[in-house]
Amino acid sequence: MYRYDQYDQAIVDARVDEFRDQVERRLSGQLSEDQFKPLRLMNGLYLQLHAYMLRVAIPYGTLDSRQMRMLAGIARDYDRGYGHFTTRQNLQFNWIKLADTPDILARLATVQMHAIQTSGNCIRNISADQYAGAAADEVADPRPWAELIRQWSTFHPEFSYLPRKFKFAVIAAEEDRAAMRLHDIGIRLVTRDGELGASIYVGGGMGRTPMISHLVRDFVGSDDLMSYLEACLRVYNRYGRRDNIYKARIKILLHEIGADEYRRQVEEEFLLVKQLGIDPPRAELERITAMFAPPAFDPAAPDAVDRSDPDFAVWLDQNVAAHKQPGYAIVNVSLKPIGGIPGDADADQIALLADLGAAYSFDELRVTHAQNIVLPHVAKRDLYAVWRRLTKAGLAEPNLDLITDIIACPGLDYCSLANARSIPLAQKIATRFADRQRELGELKLKISGCINACGHHHAGHIGILGVDKKGTENYQLSLGGSGAQDVSLAKITGPGFSEDGVVDAIERVTDRYLATREPGERFLDTYRRVGFEPFKDAIYG
């Protein structure tokens, strides 16, 4: 994985110094909260309902054991012993004191981590396929490209005060595990005439106006990538709306002027920008790519796995994915124990994951946008040992992509923007369906506690949106969304429900699915085949 050189380290160290200065000016009263707010936001520090929340960047969701252990230590020393993994592959600490943040950042910097641009109207942490470097279906590891973009976008002088936040995702496989089409810019690496390049999709997003991105350029070679992205962002920075924050994302610009007109403007700008010499030489991509070389796999690692322990076999079938290297597997560690808080892990669990990464996965871990953890390179002969240790720590729930593997935002329990609680609802749903989840098969359920859609409800096979209805929490149900390669936006079923009412409504939906499905059909397949009406009838009929 990527390692800092003296330049990267100097930049992150300077950022710690800068933020310490800003916090001191705030604490001494030189800065008002109004003036401080944009500065702390640019560094991932939010003021939530009960405390400050610090969001730590995990670039493209990749981290090593030392970094994971550092997160456990910070959870212990500065938080209440927990970390919360987010849908942007980051980690949030929910109980932080402002005066501690410079020290936390200084500790993070010792393991090449930071909170740069994890909030604010700037280019956010770059996300990527969590199976990068391990998946058989990728044309290349997408992370070197993501790292190039990370460096280009870090403290970008022109794009730090965009109309609104800006999210990139980079993948390199046919299967989309990163919800790439629902990002401001999504990149899929492809090959053309033997050369690797990027297909650029622009204008996707969730929020209150969900949209699927448009293919704006089918191929940009690595020599032109920065110029092309600079052109994409410049057109947005100049012409994106600033009169209404709800219409300020790039998706609205594309919607208003049309993808063709946006493309035309970008191409025109690209011709100018390309003259400026802002593209790093190919040697820079090669330098970064070398750091993502495959680990030293054992070519003799056996492929056979002893399935005699039935509980292990269930987990193996549900949470372990195929690896491109014979004898190895990708382990998904569920952070969705039945009745737990989706995406949360306590300090001991985080430290255990660090240990497992070091012992069994070539020192690498990944965070997924579905708020789980991946051990990307586990030898099959070690799977049973890994499973036993995960089981002991409460981390072996075999529910990947099942109805209890819920994405949920922090909701009204933490978030100052929320209208409704997400966590208790997620807990109720998981508890209700735990004994049926395997029968229901793949069913992605996503909950957002407000219209900002941090819980990706538009992309849920079943999506739930919490709203405030005359002072009480109310939940709208939607069906048929997908953030994967078969991307689609979910459709609202009709009037909303109380917390218990929405759980009952989901049960009517899943009952109708079980009664309607044809062999081999996932919920989403059945929904697409029979349409919305039969489910609507089941819910309200």
Partner 1 sequence: MVDAPLRFRDDEPHDEPAVTLDAFLGQSNATAVRLEAGEDARALLPQIGQIALVEVSFPSFRDGRGYSAARVLREAGYTGELRAAGDVLVDQLPLMRRCGFDSFAPEAPIDPEALQRSLDRYDYRYQPAADGIVPVWKLRHG
Positions touching partner 1 (CB under 8 A) are 5, 7-8, 10-11, 14, 17-18, 21-22, 25, 30, 35, 38-39, 121, 151-152, 154-163, 226, 234, 237-238, 242, 272, 276-278, 280-281, 283-284, 287
**Hey, what are 444's tokens?**
């992605």
- Name the residue nearer to partner 1 (CB basis): 97 or 238: 238
Closest approach of partner 1 to the CB of residue 60, in Å: 16
Dist CA 222 CA 13 (whole Å): 29
**Hey, what are 333's tokens?**
């560690």
Closest approach of partner 1 to the CB of residue 263, in Å: 19
Q: Report phi then psi at 453, rounded to 5.
A: 70, 30
- Name the residue nearer to partner 1 (CB basis): 243 or 533: 243
- Name the residue nearer to partner 1 (CB basis): 183 or 234: 234
- Name the residue nearer to partner 1 (CB basis): 158 or 439: 158
Of 185, 4, 120, 147, which is closest to residue 62 (Cα–Cα)? 147
Residue corresponding to tokens 């709306």: 241
Closest approach of partner 1 to the CB of residue 287, in Å: 7
Closest approach of partner 1 to the CB of residue 152, in Å: 5
Closest approach of partner 1 to the CB of residue 154, in Å: 5
Burial track 338-356 (b if 16+ CB lie within 10 A, e otherwise): bebbbbbbbbebbbbbbeb
Closest approach of partner 1 to the CB of residue 510, in Å: 45
The full DSSP string for 335-358 is ---TTS-TTEEEHHHHHHHHHHHH
Closest approach of partner 1 to the CB of residue 195, in Å: 20
- Name the residue nearer to partner 1 (CB basis): 289 or 371: 289
Dist CA 507 CA 525 (whole Å): 18
Closest approach of partner 1 to the CB of residue 284, in Å: 5
Dist CA 523 CA 479 (whole Å): 10
- Name the residue nearer to partner 1 (CB basis): 19 or 312: 19
- Name the residue nearer to partner 1 (CB basis): 161 or 246: 161
**Hey, what are 7's tokens?**
């330049």
- Name the residue nearer to partner 1 (CB basis): 161 or 540: 161
- Name the residue nearer to partner 1 (CB basis): 9 or 209: 9
**Hey, what are 491's tokens?**
């459709």
Please tell me the number of Cα atoms within 13 Å of 182 on its side-chain side. 30
Dist CA 171 CA 376 (whole Å): 16
**Hey, what are 209's tokens?**
């106006």
Closest approach of partner 1 to the CB of residue 245, in Å: 9
- Name the residue nearer to partner 1 (CB basis): 155 or 532: 155
Task: Please list the alpha-helical segments (H only) found in 382-498.
Answer: 383-392, 423-433, 437-440
The full DSSP string for 160-224 is SS-SS-B-EEEE-BSS-SS-GGGSSEEEEEEEETTEEEEEEEE--B-TTS-B--EEEEEEEEGGG
Closest approach of partner 1 to the CB of residue 65, in Å: 27
